[in-house]
Amino acid sequence: MVQIEKLTGLMGAEITGFDITGGITADMANFLRHALADHQMIALRGLHPTIKQQKELTEVFGPVMKLPYVEPMPEDDEVIAVLKEADECNKGVFGGDWHSDFSFLENPPAGSILSAIEVPKVGGDTVWASQVSAYASLPDKLKKIVDGRKAVHIGAPYGVTHQPPEEERAGASIRMSRGDPKADREILHPAVITEPLSGRRSLFLNPIYTTRFEDMSEEESAPILADIYKHCTRPDFSCRFRWRAGDVAIWDNRTCLHYATNDYDGARRLLYRTTFSADPPAA
């Protein structure tokens, strides 16, 4: 029997009894889509999908999307191997700060799936923070600023102007292209978006790619964004997931932020990642 249980009070849920070896029926797909809309992140323990099965699971939520700037697996250009080898010590880690993936694209990813192949005995957790809960509890003075406003996003790590220092970059196992002037373009998205299935509103801002509000300078926006980020990454809204080999996590890239912890030097960590698309985020 399929059961769903919350992982924390405000976000994240674990689903048990889910079997995709015989395919995914329409009822199963509907259940998963609503679970994701309700919880922003859902985990299926011990699923051990093949890459083919993972891609079929991805298609439940939207068309599979090829990510730019990150080198995919040689055998499948729709899958990224999120890998850190045991000897990649004292280096940054892929996704090692609060962010929403590629929010600087005109149509950012709608969500992603990670399948754990090999994980450390301890460490390498992923943390998500619900931006639905963050918006619902946002102080009124900040709500008045973000409601009806657009924010500017740029692909700073991949552009020319703001490339991160070498020591902060992920290790050699994840190859990324940088120095693309197109990534420095300013892209506008609503600061508050609506999740289509649930109709709930969510913040759509993040400290990696959001630089300012549309009608403000970076200097004017900075203290406001700092207050919002302090609020929206509170532990109250967060779910820290401890991986086991075979686990699968699915998240809505637009209604939650996520953070990959980097506390496992000396251990190998490998997950396969697929991404799905949808209509552009809308207020």
Confidence at residue 282, expressed as pLDDT on a 0 to 100 scale:
97
Percent of the chain with pLDDT over 90: 85
Confidence at residue 92, expressed as pLDDT on a 0 to 100 scale:
75
Cβ proximity of 132 and 177 under 8 Å: no
* Predicted confidence (pLDDT) at residue 203 exceeds the cutoff of 70: yes
> Measuring CA to CA, how many Å separate 214 from each of 63, 114, 155, 211, 221?
30, 33, 16, 9, 9
Average pLDDT over every residue of 178-188: 88
* Predicted confidence (pLDDT) at residue 103 exceeds the cutoff of 90: yes
Confidence at residue 191, expressed as pLDDT on a 0 to 100 scale:
98
| pLDDT level of residue 90 (50, 70, 90 thresholds) | confident
| pLDDT level of residue 181 (50, 70, 90 thresholds) | confident
Q: Dihedrals φ, ψ of 264, to 5°?
A: -140, 35
Confidence at residue 273, expressed as pLDDT on a 0 to 100 scale:
98
Mean pLDDT of the chain: 93
Query: Could you report the per-residue pLDDT of 249-265, keeping only the tens digit for each?
Result: 999 999 999 999 999 99
Confidence at residue 164, expressed as pLDDT on a 0 to 100 scale:
57
**Token digits for 110?**
């709608």
Confidence at residue 176, expressed as pLDDT on a 0 to 100 scale:
76
Average pLDDT over every residue of 227-255: 98
Q: Dihedrals φ, ψ of 133, to 5°?
A: -65, -35
Cβ proximity of 120 and 264 under 8 Å: yes
Q: How far apart are CA 133 and CA 87, in angstroms?
A: 38
Amino acid residing at 176? M
* Predicted confidence (pLDDT) at residue 91 exceeds the cutoff of 90: no
Cβ proximity of 252 and 94 under 8 Å: no
* Predicted confidence (pLDDT) at residue 174 exceeds the cutoff of 80: no
In this prediction the pTM is 0.94
HSE of 11, CA atoms in CB hemisphere, 13 A: 30
Q: How far apart are CA 207 and CA 230, in angstroms?
A: 10
Average pLDDT over every residue of 43-52: 96
Average pLDDT over every residue of 96-118: 96
Q: How far apart are CA 116 and CA 127, in angstroms?
A: 15
Q: What is the DSSP letter of 166?
A: G
Residue 107: Cβ within 10 Å count? 14
> Measuring CA to CA, how many Å separate 36 from each of 2, 83, 127, 149, 160?
15, 26, 16, 26, 36
Report strand pairing: 269-276 vs 80-84.
Answer: antiparallel
Confidence at residue 64, expressed as pLDDT on a 0 to 100 scale:
98
Confidence at residue 163, expressed as pLDDT on a 0 to 100 scale:
61
Amino acid residing at 141? K
Average pLDDT over every residue of 43-58: 97
Active site residues: 99, 101, 258, 273
Q: How far apart are CA 76 and CA 79, in angstroms?
A: 6
Query: Could you report the per-residue pLDDT of 129-164, keeping only the tens digit for each?
Result: 999 999 999 999 999 999 999 999 999 888 887 665
* Neighbouring-strand partners of residue 274: 113
The three-state secondary structure class of 259 is strand
Q: Dihedrals φ, ψ of 42, to 5°?
A: -130, 145
* Predicted confidence (pLDDT) at residue 272 exceeds the cutoff of 70: yes
